[in-house]
Amino acid sequence: MKKILLTVLLTALPALAWGGDELPTPLNNAAAINLVQEHANYLWTLVAATLVFFMQAGFAMVEAGFTRAKNSVNIMMKNLMDFSMGSIAFYTIGFGLMFGATNTGWFGTSDFFLSGWSPDGDPWVLAFWMFQCVFAATAATIVSGAMAERTKFTSYLIYSLFLCAFIYPIFGSWAWGSLLNGSGWLEKLGFIDFAGSTVVHSVGGWAALAGAIVLGPRIGKYGPKGEVRAIPGHNIPIAALGVFILWMGWFGFNPGSTTTADKSIAMIFVNTNMSAAAGAILAMITSWAMFKKPDVGMSLNGALAGLVGITAGCANVGPLSSIIIGAIAGVLVVISVVTIDRMHIDDPVGAVSVHGVCGAWGTLAAGLFNMGGTTIKIISTQLIGIGAAFIWAFGVAFILFKVIDLTVGLRVSEKEEMEGLDIGEHGANAYHDFVTTK
Amino acid sequence: MKKILLTVLLTALPALAWGGDELPTPLNNAAAINLVQEHANYLWTLVAATLVFFMQAGFAMVEAGFTRAKNSVNIMMKNLMDFSMGSIAFYTIGFGLMFGATNTGWFGTSDFFLSGWSPDGDPWVLAFWMFQCVFAATAATIVSGAMAERTKFTSYLIYSLFLCAFIYPIFGSWAWGSLLNGSGWLEKLGFIDFAGSTVVHSVGGWAALAGAIVLGPRIGKYGPKGEVRAIPGHNIPIAALGVFILWMGWFGFNPGSTTTADKSIAMIFVNTNMSAAAGAILAMITSWAMFKKPDVGMSLNGALAGLVGITAGCANVGPLSSIIIGAIAGVLVVISVVTIDRMHIDDPVGAVSVHGVCGAWGTLAAGLFNMGGTTIKIISTQLIGIGAAFIWAFGVAFILFKVIDLTVGLRVSEKEEMEGLDIGEHGANAYHDFVTTK
Amino acid sequence: MKKILLTVLLTALPALAWGGDELPTPLNNAAAINLVQEHANYLWTLVAATLVFFMQAGFAMVEAGFTRAKNSVNIMMKNLMDFSMGSIAFYTIGFGLMFGATNTGWFGTSDFFLSGWSPDGDPWVLAFWMFQCVFAATAATIVSGAMAERTKFTSYLIYSLFLCAFIYPIFGSWAWGSLLNGSGWLEKLGFIDFAGSTVVHSVGGWAALAGAIVLGPRIGKYGPKGEVRAIPGHNIPIAALGVFILWMGWFGFNPGSTTTADKSIAMIFVNTNMSAAAGAILAMITSWAMFKKPDVGMSLNGALAGLVGITAGCANVGPLSSIIIGAIAGVLVVISVVTIDRMHIDDPVGAVSVHGVCGAWGTLAAGLFNMGGTTIKIISTQLIGIGAAFIWAFGVAFILFKVIDLTVGLRVSEKEEMEGLDIGEHGANAYHDFVTTK
């Protein structure tokens, strides 16, 4: 630690870009200015990555809080492991498929194992990788919620690896292109998805939908006459903490997607905040109108709906548009949760509605509310991207879950589900000293 | 995401402020240097805003942890909504009243709906707005604690909106002036309140006092002979987590108030930390002396007392003074909590003592311990500011709460209070799977 | 707040380093460039310090979650106080011993009470102090876990002060030297410990080992025939939250140790993340093989093991090496926890294994996987540092705990231990509204 420190302290006029003998000139000063700006870019990209990383804790708290105490250990393990395994999968395979310098037009074919970096080379690829890695893991963790309380742990690990290694990065390459050459087909069409309403959230949400369908509902969720029964969450304070953590993390997710420390991040911050606020308020009002009381689960999901909704357009719509986008997302998420439940698709935390549906809405909204004006072409491109994400993510994930189901098996036994996955899968009790009702 | 990235990567010597044809000169280099510094200012202001935003989670955890399980959902809803509605209120009205470019001398009269910003204009107003918005919401959330466990949710929403739209910004305009022209009357007197011991914390604390008085105490808080009964909190680990979150958030709150990335933030960091540490230690010792055991609630509040206490003077006192300021705040908060309780004003979390009383102390201390020396004029100006905050915030809030009480009603029914607000207001149970004692 | 803001807004071309009359020249431009870089260094160092501060919340949650409900208040008090008292101790004594400008060769003899700083002087020492202070407190808090559920609170306070004031800073001065002159003896040998696998973690871990030995095991931990009994933790979701917080905090701990905003932080971020991920995965697999189920406590500790393991070498090994280092740490932590338990040393949270053992491993690995190649001399220097840390930290802490034990007493009464320290030490109940099993 010390050597670097002394360099800072002892050099009254340190030579940033010119040598000791060289005098400062406009030209080497210009190089030094660019170097300082680059340092700011590294700083911002990596601080933003830190905030996005922390979203893993937010997802873990939301998912555990909204489900039953007897499955909490399993949820912690899934969230820990999808990030850990996802990091390794994105390092070995995913990043290369998504951003590889050479590519087939459909995915990259180089830069696996971070091979584009060498100790003497430009370290920017490492900063960029770090930011992209926490994004990939976010997509994976979304699925966890929709499949909570009944999925085999081993099967979850397989799926999670596959999403970070293949499903997410291949779609990502279509929309965000490759790092060093060319770009994906959606990008070339002009598809707008600044921070990933579609690339991250819808991809995660539609995979979650496939998982929830293949798994089937939790025991007791739907009555003998098909009536929908509520299975309440067990810890609302930690669920709310999770939402606050996610909201904070989104201040890395959206403005960090600039990967540049410039003035444009200010509007992205404001947009992100306004949409989340409007989403929470409108979801509360909608739930109040539908259920006669302001519902905490819906209000919390409303904030997330607003955040997902503004993710695509955060850099190309204004603050007032952001309020409208978030407000509509807040209404949409309540309607979607109720509708999906009536279709007997059991999504314990509302992940499909929050990430899939509001991700699609946000992607469309990025075209509709574009500050520079909108056109049929813009809208149709957005719709193509939305459709491509659904077909790809739902389709491939559906096949994947079916294959897992037919081989290792996707779902735990009925006995284990009743007892809780904590005992069956992990031999543990999340709340050992408390008397619980089941 | 990609286009910006490529710009960074492909330009070996990017032209920050000069065109492609132009060669670097001392003059355009100077402009470029200033631009990079501005980027750092944006970065710092917005990262600090992120930390201050997260204080909402801290307040939610502290408030829930220090109160009863049966009201936890209500507390989460209040904290989510005061930030969400506060954001919208500060966008539509509050910011204009506080920082409007034109003003009456008592409040601003322009810049509502962020109208001072246009897509082609300077985005600094957006960064500044974001930082100010999280401050406004902090003032609102302080009141929530003092009014916990007995306030109607609808009434809380009305009050919360009013505080972010009017009470906070009007006082704020007196002390922190308007963005583009002139300044408030307290500012002109030389009032020192760098990050808001008075502007944010006392204003919130005195409004909380008004709320607690108008509401009256919780059922069972004071016995038939007037004896004070403890109503213990239900979750000390999350309360402690909340305090750690708030402490971290204060590293955005105080040094972020520079809204500039310069060297002055270092002393503000150290001062903030020392005062919090001293506050926690002295509150522990004081509680130990008074109650024979080191009390966890008092110790945690002592850290917050130290943080509130150093907020006004964090940029104009030294580290040793900060320790003294925090230590006195730590003693003061314990005495204040006990005294307010004896006055039969029921403040479940000690918000009035932490924010009102220690905010006033901190504002006085900013004058007393001023590094450049103190004078009667400095002290009297500080006292004028302290007094003005009390008269304004307590007075207006008292009227507001009385009006709400006489119209929609401020307090829930006795039956609902006994059952818990979670069931009555939200039809929910925060801890569904746990056996609770109520 | 305002004055600084106006400065930013009103000066279209502010003079950062040249006066109003002076025109920009290459020379004063060069000074201005360095000033902006310095601002970035302050920003990064202090944001990183904020992240490291938050690790206190992580440690508190991990420690409470892995132990019993009846001791949770005590754990919160210990974590609050070791940071608070540690801050004061490091201000008054510790920093001077570790970084004092004059020194004996074994420790510094000046710069107590931050006397190296004056209001007119360079504020860098304040930024550096802040970063070092949160490190010192980390070392102290590690011990808390190994001594949980049976240590007298008063004795803990004494010990904690002593560690932040003497044990940690004296060893620190050997490895990280003094701020303004010379350097420690380990440093001169070429000892590699970039962010403190040994300086912070092993020192904390070996002191924890001494504490656990002097204290003896918790009642009921080992059966009459010497069999090891599990005492399960009471709140796995907050333990997992704590691990996520720690992982995030490590993104300040390791890359922040540059105390410079430059490109080198990118590799340190990636290394930190890869090692943590590999540690979690391998600990899970190891526990799965040994106990037939993937264990949540081991997996969470595996992530921490990976983080501790990469702390020494994060700046001088590559990403692939980081994966290997983390993976070995993940296996090692499981074996170590089981072995220490079999030795009848009761470490409730595995602190000795995570911080002591994996800290030693990480320090060795920093030599073994050095990007520039390794030599017998490098390895032997690493081993000398590892050995010195053990002898110093274990030895001095052992004597300290023995002295405390023989004077004020180190351990609570049997009755108090059975009832829980929350009642005995603090007259409180962490979960007042819940029905608990003991």
Q: Which residues contact B252 (CB under 8 A, 6 or more apart)?
A: B47, B48, B49, B50, B51, B52, C50
**Share of chain B residues as helix, strand and coil, in percent rounded to the nearest 5:** 70, 0, 30
CB A271 within 8 A of CB A91: no
Q: Which residues of A touch C295 (CB under 8 A)?
A: 426-428
The per-residue DSSP string of C255-319 comes to GGGG-S-STHHHHHHHHHHHHHHHHHHHHHHHHHHHHSS--HHHHHHHHHHHHHHHHTTTTTS-H
What sign does the CA torsion over A374, A376, A381, A385 have? positive
Q: Which residue of C has its CA nearest to B435?
A: C435
Give the Cα separation of C309 and C322 in Å (integer): 9
CB B92 within 8 A of CB B112: yes
Q: Which residues contact B108 (CB under 8 A, 6 or more apart)?
A: B96, B97, B98, B99, B100, B101, B102, B173, B178
Q: Which residues of C touch B371 (CB under 8 A)?
A: 119
Q: Which residues of A touch B126 (CB under 8 A)?
A: 266-267, 269-270, 319
The chains found to touch B (3+ Cβ pairs under 8 angstroms) are A, C
Q: Measure the CA angle with vertex B210, ends B204 and B215; round to 5°.
A: 120
**Rg of chain B on CA atoms, in Å:** 23
Confirm or reject contact between A232 and chain B (CB < 8 A): yes
The chains found to touch C (3+ Cβ pairs under 8 angstroms) are A, B
CB C84 within 8 A of CB B280: yes
Residue C228's DSSP bridge partners are: C222
Indicate the CATH number for domain A38-426.
1.10.3430.10
Q: How far is CA B64 from the centre of its chain?
A: 17
Cβ-defined contact of C273 to A130 (cutoff 8 Å): yes
Number of residue pairs across B and C with CB atoms under 8 Å?
Answer: 229
What is the rounded average pLDDT of the residues A353-357? 98
- The ipTM assigned to this model is 0.96
Q: Measure the CA angle with vertex A89, ends A83 and A90; round to 5°.
A: 85
Q: Measure the CA angle with vertex C10, ends B259 and B311; round to 5°.
A: 25
Q: Which pTM does this prediction carry? A: 0.96
Q: Which residues of A touch B47 (CB under 8 A)?
A: 47
- pLDDT tens readout for residues C87-127: 999 999 999 999 998 888 789 999 999 998 999 999 999 99
Q: Which residue of B has its CA nearest to A194?
A: B1
In a structure prediction context, what are the per-residue pLDDT tens digits for chain B, which is 438 residues long?
Answer: 444 343 333 343 445 655 556 789 999 999 999 999 999 999 999 999 999 999 999 999 999 999 999 999 999 999 999 999 999 999 999 999 999 988 887 899 999 999 989 999 999 999 999 999 999 999 999 999 999 999 999 999 999 999 999 999 999 999 997 655 556 899 999 999 999 999 999 999 999 999 999 999 999 999 999 999 999 999 999 999 999 999 999 999 999 999 999 999 999 999 999 999 999 999 999 999 999 999 999 999 999 999 999 999 999 999 999 999 999 999 999 999 999 999 999 999 999 999 999 999 999 999 999 999 999 999 999 999 999 999 999 999 999 999 999 999 999 999 999 999 999 999 999 999 999 986
Q: Smallest Cβ distance to C29: which of B26, B236, B293?
A: B26
Q: Which of residues 126-185 of C touch B (CB under 8 A)?
A: 126-127, 129-130, 133, 153
Q: Smallest Cβ distance to B183: which of C2, C129, C428?
A: C2
Give the Cα separation of A77 and C299 in Å (integer): 8
**Nearest of B276, B297, B331, B282 to residue C426 by alpha carbon:** B297
CA distances from B268 to B128, B280, B382, C80, C84 (A): 19, 18, 20, 21, 17
User: Token pair of C202, please?
Assistant: 């092993």
User: Token pair of B276, please?
Assistant: 């919090």
Q: Which residues of B touch A37 (CB under 8 A)?
A: 14, 16, 36, 39
Which of the residues C43, C244, C248 would you substitute to probe the A interface, choosing the one with the greatest number of A C-beta atoms within 10 Å? C244
In a structure prediction context, what are the per-residue pLDDT tens digits for chain C, which is 438 residues long?
Answer: 444 343 333 343 445 655 556 789 999 999 999 999 999 999 999 999 999 999 999 999 999 999 999 999 999 999 999 999 999 999 999 999 999 988 887 899 999 999 989 999 999 999 999 999 999 999 989 999 999 999 999 999 999 999 999 999 999 999 997 544 566 899 999 999 999 999 999 999 999 999 999 999 999 999 999 999 999 999 999 999 999 999 999 999 999 999 999 999 999 999 999 999 999 999 999 999 999 999 999 999 999 999 999 999 999 999 999 999 999 999 999 999 999 999 999 999 999 999 999 999 999 999 999 999 999 999 999 999 999 999 999 999 999 999 999 999 999 999 999 999 999 999 999 999 999 986
User: Token pair of A62, please?
Assistant: 């939301």
Q: Smallest Cβ distance to C248: which of A53, A60, A426?
A: A53
Indicate the DSSP class of residue B191. -
pLDDT, position A184: 87
CA distances from B54 to A192, B241, B242, B300 (A): 29, 12, 10, 18
Indicate the DSSP class of residue B107. S
Give the Cα separation of A76 and B96 in Å (integer): 45
Indicate the DSSP class of residue A315. T
Q: Which residues of A touch B119 (CB under 8 A)?
A: 318, 371
Cβ-defined contact of B91 to A437 (cutoff 8 Å): no
> How many other C-beta atoms are found inside a 10 Å radius of the C-beta of residue A25?
17
DSSP helix/strand/coil, C395: helix
Give the Cα separation of B179 and B171 in Å (integer): 15
Cβ-defined contact of C236 to A126 (cutoff 8 Å): no
Query: Interhelix angle for C319-342 vs C358-368, to 10°?
Result: 150
Classify burial at C363, counting beta carbons within 10 Å of its beta carbon; exposed 0-12, middle 13-18, buried 19 or more.
buried
Whole-angstrom distance between the N-terminal and C-terminal Cα of chain C? Answer: 52
Confirm or reject contact between A81 and chain C (CB < 8 A): yes
DSSP helix/strand/coil, B175: helix
Q: Measure the CA angle with vertex B239, ends B59 and B326; round to 5°.
A: 75
| For chain C, counts of helices (H) and of strands (E) | 19, 0
Q: Smallest Cβ distance to C263: which of A4, A42, A76?
A: A42
Confirm or reject contact between A54 and chain C (CB < 8 A): yes
Q: Which residue of C has its CA nearest to B183?
A: C2
DSSP helix/strand/coil, B9: helix
Indicate the DSSP class of residue A17. S
**Nearest of C368, C369, C362, C359 to residue C389 by alpha carbon:** C359
At A12, is the pLDDT very low, low, confident or very high (cuts 50, 70, 90)? very low
Parse chain B into domains and list their residue ranges.
Answer: 38-426
Instruction: Please name the amino acid found at residue A324.
Output: I
Cβ-defined contact of A294 to B57 (cutoff 8 Å): no
**Nearest of C86, C132, A266, A54 to residue B269 by alpha carbon:** C132
